[in-house]
Structure 1
Amino acid sequence: MAAAMDVNALADRTRRRQRREAFVTHACLVIGVLIFAFPIYLTIIGSTHDVNTIGRGDVPLLPGGEAVANYSQAWGVGGGRFMGVPAGVMLMNSIIMAMCVAVGKIAISLTSAYAVVFFRFPFRMLFFWLIFITLMLPVEVRIIPTIQVMVDLNMTNSYQGLIIPLVASATATLLFRQFFLTIPDEYVEAAKIDGAGPIRFFLDVILPLSRTNVAALFVILFIYGWNQYLWPLLIVNDRSMETVVVGLTKMIGSGDSQNEWNVIMATAVLALLPPVAVVVLMQRWFVKGLTETEK
Structure 2
Amino acid sequence: MVEKRGIGTWLTHLSLIAGIAAICFPIYVAFVASTVTQPEIARPPMPLLPGSHFLENYGTALSQGINSPVWLMLMNSSIMALGIAIGKIAISILSAYAIVYFRFPFRMVFFWLIFLTLMLPVEVRIVPTYEVAAGFGMLNSYSGLILPLIASATATFLFRQFFLTVPDELIEAARVDGAGPIRFFIDILLPMSRTNIAALFVILFIYGWNQYLWPLLITTKPEMNTIVMGIKQMFPSGDDVAEWPVIMATALMAMLPPVAVVVFMQGLFVKGLVDTEK
After TM superposition, the score normalised by the length of structure 2 is: 0.96
* Residues 1:113 and 2:96 aligned together: yes
- Which residue among 30, 33, 56 is the counterpart of 1:46? 33
Offset of residue 64 of structure 1: 0.1
Offset of residue 52 of structure 1: 1.1
Deviations 1:201-231 (A, max 9, x none): 0000000000000001101100000000111
Offset of residue 254 of structure 1: 3.2
The one-letter code matched in structure 1 to 2:51 is G
Contact 2:41 2:47 in 1 (8 A): no
Runs of 4+ off more than 4 Å: none
Aligned equivalents of 1:101, 1:172: Cα separation in 2: 12
* 1:59-98 to 2 correspondences below 5 Å: 59-79=46-66, 84-98=67-81
* Residues 1:153 and 2:132 aligned together: no
Offset of residue 76 of structure 1: 0.3
Offset of residue 59 of structure 1: 2.4
Q: Could you tell me the percent identity over the aligned residues?
A: 61
* 1:97-176 to 2 correspondences below 5 Å: 97-176=80-159
Aligned equivalents of 2:210, 2:154: Cα separation in 1: 17
SS of structure 2 residue aligned to 1:139: coil
Aligned equivalents of 1:126, 1:108: Cα separation in 2: 18
The one-letter code matched in structure 1 to 2:113 is L
* Residues 1:35 and 2:22 aligned together: yes
Offset of residue 106 of structure 1: 0.3
SS of structure 2 residue aligned to 1:140: coil
- Which residue among 152, 165, 180 is the counterpart of 1:197? 180
Offset of residue 28 of structure 1: 1.7
Offset of residue 55 of structure 1: 2.4
Deviations 1:171-226 (A, max 9, x none): 00000000000000011101110111100000000000000000011011000000
Aligned equivalents of 2:264, 2:156: Cα separation in 1: 25
After TM superposition, the score normalised by the length of structure 1 is: 0.91
Compared with structure 1, are the counterparts of its residues 256 and 264 closer, same or farther at alpha carbon in structure 2 (3 Å cutoff)? farther
The one-letter code matched in structure 2 to 1:59 is M
* Residues 1:262 and 2:249 aligned together: no
The one-letter code matched in structure 1 to 2:36 is H
* Residues 1:20 and 2:7 aligned together: yes
Aligned equivalents of 1:159, 1:123: Cα separation in 2: 34
Aligned equivalents of 1:181, 1:212: Cα separation in 2: 16
SS of structure 1 residue aligned to 2:124: helix
Larger fraction in helix: 1
SS of structure 2 residue aligned to 1:85: coil
Aligned equivalents of 1:131, 1:241: Cα separation in 2: 31
The one-letter code matched in structure 2 to 1:285 is L
- Structure 2 counterpart of 1:11: none
Aligned equivalents of 1:92, 1:196: Cα separation in 2: 41
The one-letter code matched in structure 1 to 2:98 is A
Offset of residue 25 of structure 1: 2.1
Aligned equivalents of 2:221, 2:95: Cα separation in 1: 34
Contact 2:196 2:272 in 1 (8 A): yes
Deviations 1:56-98 (A, max 9, x none): 354211110000000000000112xxxx101000000000000
Compared with structure 1, are the counterparts of its residues 204 and 256 closer, same or farther at alpha carbon in structure 2 (3 Å cutoff)? farther
Contact 1:55 1:256 in 2 (8 A): no
Aligned equivalents of 1:139, 1:23: Cα separation in 2: 46
- Structure 2 counterpart of 1:182: 165
Q: CA RMSD in A?
A: 1.5
Q: Out of 139-148 and 247-256, give the one that drifted further.
A: 247-256
The one-letter code matched in structure 1 to 2:171 is V
The one-letter code matched in structure 2 to 1:64 is G
The one-letter code matched in structure 2 to 1:51 is Q
The one-letter code matched in structure 2 to 1:131 is I
Compared with structure 1, are the counterparts of its residues 256 and 58 closer, same or farther at alpha carbon in structure 2 (3 Å cutoff)? farther
Give ranges in structure 1 of 5+ residues lacking alignment: 1-14
Compared with structure 1, are the counterparts of its residues 132 and 87 closer, same or farther at alpha carbon in structure 2 (3 Å cutoff)? same
Deviations 1:141-183 (A, max 9, x none): 1011000101111101100000001110000000000000000
- How many matched pairs? 277
- Structure 1 counterpart of 2:223: 240
Deviations 1:98-135 (A, max 9, x none): 00100000000000000001111000000000000010
